[in-house]
Structure 1
Amino acid sequence: MSGEPYGSDRLPEVLAKVATSLGPAHVRAWAQVLEPLVRPDSGLVASLVRARPGDPRLGPLAGQLAAAWRATEPQPHGAALALSLRTAMSQYESWKADHALEWVISGPSDRTEPVRHTAAVASSIIARAEHSILLATYAANDIADIATDLTAAATRGVRIDAIAETRGTEAAARLSRIPGMNVWHWPEHLRPVGAAMHAKFIAVDDSWLLLGSANLTGRAMGSNLEVGAVIHAPADVQRLTRHFAMLMSPARGTLVQYQP
């Protein structure tokens, strides 16, 4: 909790902050915790954090939500709070669909600026996928939530191609253990001396792109100071995905499928 006083009018503001700071999966998990409650109990913050752990900002956000709920008179039932949270998330997701670029960050943030956290955005963009996901990362570790999101995408029929480094990192091996993943790498004999596969992005349905400095690691998604952007520009995203499709094509063979 931040320690600042909460008036009875702060709850809508805090609900909007939660909906815009966390991804859809986190919001749904929190709504499920809130729904059966009559009033905020002493274990609310811990229950929210446990619902879907992994984001270092969960504790403070949960504390702010609990404090705002307690300060609201009359106190709404948890089911009303859950519905309001889902509605705020839906409105924010609709707003995002009409905006071409959105900044995302990891690490320290300025509360006054409307930027979202890398882990939440990665979860959100993967959840949006209907047909294809193409991602690239130098490193991959401590990403249980992202692995769950990718598995869910594969289960609903999304094709997932992951390009990962193999020199000095186990990224390709770790990603290959996620069900439904097609993992690619850049063989040593096909690259210049000292060159690395250092690209970091997630492209969804040839329309949406999360592009930035963050690897698929817990630290990069959470505590590191990282910056990126979500871009909705289908023609430009397709140019990027076509480039990597060419590198993965048998005729070119620059990127080849990883064999554990």
Structure 2
Amino acid sequence: MSGRLPALLAELAERLPAERLATWAGALQVAQHPYDAVLDQLVANAPAMGLAGYLTRIRQAWREEAPELPGTALGLALETVGRTQTPEPSSADLVVSGPTSPAIPVRLTRGMAIDVIRSARYTLLIASFAAYGIADLVAEIGDAVERGVRVDVLVDRSTAATRPFIPLRDRIRVWHPATGSAVTRMHAKVIAADRHTALLGSANLTDRALDANVEVSLVLRDPRIVGRLVDHFRWLSDSTGFLGPG
């Protein structure tokens, strides 16, 4: 195998997480030709990861450089490259809202917010300046409460951000900046599960911010940093009085 195809497979193996790489390798192994419909499902199942461009380039290189190769060979090649690579440990992942780049596989904000909420087993801390149009997230928060998670929601008074959480009422704790506080706005955007994972960035908990606006966030999986972040908000409420119950 020579030309662009090996390089494309190697680049794809570097970008794909392990479970997605296995899915791609399996699909290639059963594909009969470059435009087999089984390959279209790869992109359909992960539309937010910016992989359509890779599939187009791989199909073109396969057709132009090695049309005689069966999909089995490409699938095995991709799987082999993936196994020989030693991934660098990462404690942060990119998350976006709005348009996704075809060159950079990323997660969308709403899906990652749901994943972080679902990962909580003991505590869940949610901070946002505004909140509306998030019935699915509120349902996930309700599920977290059902499994015994203690939930604290920190929002600003000026945006009516408590309204989406009314169905949960006394089952969660809601906090606002206290009246007369030297700092008058809760502008942070954070979802922290226990002390192990946190999503933080520019997106408010609103339908447009989670889906349509151009927003950028990071999900952190470093308990040292996430723990300090959670402790900071606990300190704001328990020690300084900056945050008061809503």
1:227 counterpart (216, 221, 237): 216
**Distance (Å, rounded) in 1 between the aligned partners of 2:99 and 2:44:** 21
Higher percent of residues as helix: 2
Q: What does residue 133 of structure 2 align with?
A: 142
Aligned counterparts, 1:63-102, within 5 A: 99-102=90-93
Identity of aligned residues (%): 36
**Distance (Å, rounded) in 1 between the aligned partners of 2:204 and 2:167:** 17
**Distance (Å, rounded) in 2 between the aligned partners of 1:173 and 1:222:** 20
Shift in alpha-carbon separation, 1:238–1:163, aligned structure 2, 3 A: same
- Higher alpha-carbon deviation: 175-184 or 204-213: 175-184
1:106 counterpart (77, 93, 97): 97
Q: What displacement does 1:175 show? A: 2.6
1:72-101 CA deviation, whole Å, 9 max, x = no partner? xxxxxxxxxxxxxxxxxxxxxxxxxx7411
**Distance (Å, rounded) in 2 between the aligned partners of 1:122 and 1:6:** 35
RMSD of aligned Cα (Å): 2.2
Q: What displacement does 1:9 show? A: 3.9
Stretches of structure 1 lacking an aligned partner (at least 5 in a row)? 22-60, 62-97
**Distance (Å, rounded) in 1 between the aligned partners of 2:38 and 2:153:** 46
TM-score by length of 2: 0.65
Q: Does 1:172 align with 2:201?
A: no
Aligned partners of 2:135 and 2:164 also within 8 Å: no
SS at match of 1:211: strand
**Distance (Å, rounded) in 1 between the aligned partners of 2:211 and 2:116:** 17
Shift in alpha-carbon separation, 1:118–1:6, aligned structure 2, 3 A: farther
**Distance (Å, rounded) in 2 between the aligned partners of 1:6 and 1:142:** 40
Q: What displacement does 1:121 show? A: 0.3
1:1-29 CA deviation, whole Å, 9 max, x = no partner? xxxx95234056236525x75xxxxxxxx
1:210 counterpart (199, 205, 210): 199
Q: Does 1:199 align with 2:188?
A: yes
Aligned counterparts, 1:5-44, within 5 A: 7-11=36-40, 13-14=42-43, 17=46
Shift in alpha-carbon separation, 1:173–1:11, aligned structure 2, 3 A: closer
**Distance (Å, rounded) in 1 between the aligned partners of 2:105 and 2:99:** 13
Q: What does residue 254 of structure 1 align with?
A: 242
**Distance (Å, rounded) in 1 between the aligned partners of 2:244 and 2:167:** 17
1:129 counterpart (120, 127, 137): 120
**Distance (Å, rounded) in 1 between the aligned partners of 2:42 and 2:167:** 41
1:151 counterpart (142, 145, 151): 142
Shift in alpha-carbon separation, 1:173–1:16, aligned structure 2, 3 A: closer
One-letter code of the match for 1:171?
A
1:102-148 CA deviation, whole Å, 9 max, x = no partner? 10000111133111100000011111111110010000000011011
Aligned partners of 2:176 and 2:244 also within 8 Å: yes
**Distance (Å, rounded) in 1 between the aligned partners of 2:95 and 2:35:** 28
Bigger CA radius of gyration: 2
1:11-64 CA deviation, whole Å, 9 max, x = no partner? 56236525x75xxxxxxxxxxxxxxxxxxxxxxxxxxxxxxxxxxxxxxx9xxx
Aligned partners of 1:104 and 1:116 also within 8 Å: yes
Aligned residues: 174
Aligned partners of 2:133 and 2:164 also within 8 Å: no
